[in-house]
Amino acid sequence: MRGPDVPARALDARALAALAANPGCRRRAILDGAGVDKARLAGALGAPSGFGQSQFALTRGNAFEAKVKADGGAELLRLAHAHLDPGADRPEAAAVPDLAAQGPEGRTARTALALREATRAGGWTLLDHPMLALDVAGSLAFLEPDAVVVHPDGSWSVVEIKSFPMVDGSADPAKVGAAARQSAVYVLALEDVAARLDPPPRVHHRVLLVCPKDFSNLPAGRAVDVRKQRAVTARQLARLTRIDEIADALPEGTCFAPDRPAEELTAAVEAVPATYAPECLAACELAFHCRERSRAAGAVTRLGRPLRAELGGLGTVEDVLAAARGESGDPDDPAVAALRRAAQLRAEALRAAGPAAPRPHAETPVEVPACR
């Protein structure tokens, strides 16, 4: 579906969190499930994406992560002890198992084995970039958190390392929220691994967020409770339509390869319904394309999900205006009644204001001689 010679793009936790935030978007579900590179697809459609991290941000983030994990993760484990488990013994010497294996399936199995061994051994263990798997709408997604810490009591915690600063102990709430949603996906995947052990170890719902302190390169930690994000993500992922069901409804031969002609590619993308909302601009590479189509169709979803929810069955701007004018719509519908009342109040206000005063004619400009 993505093309015979196009490599699959892995589905990461950030993409899963965005997908869970918009479970009604079948377009994103099928493209992510098929491993389509949405950034290349958006460029081929003529709506290149501005979504994603800059190369500078990636380089800075990798350098900071390497610093945090230096010396066997001593600083990271110190932060985990201080913020997640201060009652446990200090992590004087921690195990850092080798998680290398062939392919994502092999790495997933190696991670599960390392977690089981660390749980039985006791003591602190740091898993650097483990590989987890999570079933998403019938398709297996492989996830790679920054780190997972096994506590001396056998419980597990997710560690998320970000490059945005933590100033005076607090960071940008929007960025912290995005990190929490991403970490919630890792927590769900860890819970799947834990459920296969007997007895199942505890997976903490408080994750460790590590950021640079006060614009320096020194790490600072903060415990973030992701119980709400975990519950929402689990519920939304359960609502996703299975990818094979979406694929079965597509025309025969549908292909999203970026090298296809623009007309053919546009038809393939439009064959899958999308649910655009302004929030997509910060989460999806196809947001510009979907916004353009949403504007052309006059869909009210482009004005935001809260407004869309208020309008009930009125799906387009034309429907809304017609209902406000009394040309269509059920008068008993609360949304229609509210629109007509608003239109009536507007008309009364305009009548009370009277005709607009005529604007004075502009004075004839005076010609000023040029300076010498």
Distances (CA, A) of 322 to 302, 328, 344: 18, 6, 13
CA distance 264 to 268: 6
The residues near 325 (Cβ < 8 Å, ≥ 6 apart) are: 343
* pLDDT-derived band at 80, boundaries 50, 70, 90: very high
Collapsing DSSP states into helix, strand and coil, what is residue 157?
strand
Strand locations in 103-235, DSSP E? 125-128, 132-136, 139-143, 147-150, 156-161, 206-212, 219-225
Buried b (16+ CB within 10 A) or exposed e, 238-260: eebeebeebeeeeeeebbbbbeb
CA distance 241 to 137: 6
Q: Are 50 and 72 in contact (CB under 8 A)?
A: no
CA distance 303 to 349: 25
The CA-based dihedral angle spanning residues 147, 149, 155, 158, taken in that order and rounded to the nearest 10 degrees: -30
Work out the average pLDDT over 288-296: 90
Task: List the beta bridge partners of residue 144.
Answer: none
- Please report, for the chain, how many H helices and E strands are present, in that order: 14, 7
> Phi-psi region for residue 72, left (φ > 0), alpha (ψ -120 to 50) or beta?
left
- pLDDT, residue 361, reads 47
CA distance 188 to 115: 15
CA distance 299 to 315: 6
- pLDDT tens per residue across span 305-342: 788 888 888 888 898 999 899 888 888 888 889 999 99
Nearest to 186 by CA among 128, 224, 147: 147
- pLDDT tens per residue across span 144-182: 999 999 999 999 999 999 989 999 888 899 889 889 999
> pTM value?
0.73
- pLDDT, residue 50, reads 67
* pLDDT-derived band at 362, boundaries 50, 70, 90: very low
- pLDDT tens per residue across span 205-256: 999 999 999 878 899 999 999 999 999 888 888 877 677 788 888 888 888 8
Where are the chain's structural domains? 13-52+243-310, 55-238, 317-351
- pLDDT, residue 275, reads 86
- pLDDT, residue 170, reads 86
- pLDDT, residue 368, reads 45
Residue 139 has pLDDT above 90, yes or no: no
Residue 371 has pLDDT above 60, yes or no: no
CA distance 126 to 113: 14
- pLDDT, residue 136, reads 81
- pLDDT tens per residue across span 96-130: 999 999 999 999 999 999 999 999 988 999 999 99
CA distance 159 to 183: 8
- Note the residue count of the chain: 372
DSSP-derived secondary structure for 100-112: --SHHHHHHHHHH
Residue 51 has pLDDT above 90, yes or no: no
- Quote the mean pLDDT of the chain: 86
Strand 139-143 vs strand 156-161: parallel, antiparallel, or unpaired? unpaired
- pLDDT, residue 128, reads 94
- pLDDT, residue 365, reads 47
- pLDDT, residue 363, reads 47
